[in-house]
Amino acid sequence: MTKPSLSFSDTRRLSFICDHPLYVSSYQKLEKLEKNRIFCRHQMDHLLDVARIAYILDLKMNLGICQDLIYAAALLHDIGKGRQYEEGIPHEIASAQIAKQILEDMPPEFIFSDEEQQEILSAIRYHRKLRSDPAPLEFLLYKGDKMSRACFACPAEPECNWNDTMKNKEIRL
Ligand SMILES: [Fe+2]
């Protein structure tokens, strides 16, 4: 039977990422550090919101990027946030460092190609500030990240230091 998919996707890659000891320890540290945070958090709800929005945009714009590539980038894009809180390392840099190790550890039967790994790492590295000529995955991750936040329904919005033009003051389609 033909796989009903626009492109090859492999959920084993996503399970591998989430089960990797470095991912688990980084995620648990971040969860603990954000326990009492009133502003946006960076746990699984956010990561999956970003993945799904980015994939919707991928379909709407006919970019043809593999779903698992998008999901891998989304699952990893904030994983270094704990290091930002503790060590002052910008989280796009810390996340890319952690992601690199996890992606390289993938078993040969489903490891991302070198080119795909670079696409994911570059999307993570530049997800906070869009470059002037972003690669398609960079663009999707950036947009998905920003669109995922429901500022219009957030009680902490008045105190949030996000630039006013970036806040989602209404539902965006
Ligand atoms: Fe994010």
Going from the Cα of 127 to the center of ligand 1, the distance in angstroms, rounded, reads 8
Report CA(57)–ligand 1 centroid distance (Å): 16
Question: How many A from CA of 41 to the centre of ligand 1?
Answer: 8
Please give all residues whose CB falls under 5 A of ion ligand 1, grouped by chain where several chains appear: 78, 145
pLDDT at 8: 59
Å from CA of 81 to ligand 1 middle: 9
pLDDT in tens, 130-144: 999 999 999 999 999
What is the pLDDT confidence band of residue 2, given thresholds at 50, 70 and 90? very low
- Enumerate residues 6+ apart whose C-beta is below 8 A from 40: 46, 149, 154, 160
- Cα-to-centroid distance, 78 and ligand 1 (Å): 5
Is the pLDDT confidence value at 7 over 70?
Answer: no
Burial class (CB in 10 A: 0-12, 13-18, 19+), 165: exposed
pLDDT band at 3 (very low <50, low <70, confident <90, very high): very low
What are 16-34's pLDDT values in tens digits? 999 999 999 999 999 999 9
Spatial distance between the Cα atoms of 65 and 136, rounded to a whole number of angstroms: 8
pTM of the model: 0.93
Which residue in this structure is represented by tokens 């946030």?
A: 81
Contact yes or no for 167/157 (Cβ under 8 A): yes
Give the residue extent of every domain in the chain.
9-159
Residue among 38, 47, 70, 41 nearest 160 (CA): 38
Is the domain covering 9-159 a CATH 1.10.3210.10 domain?
yes
Q: How far is the CA of 42 from the centre of ligand 1 (A)?
A: 6
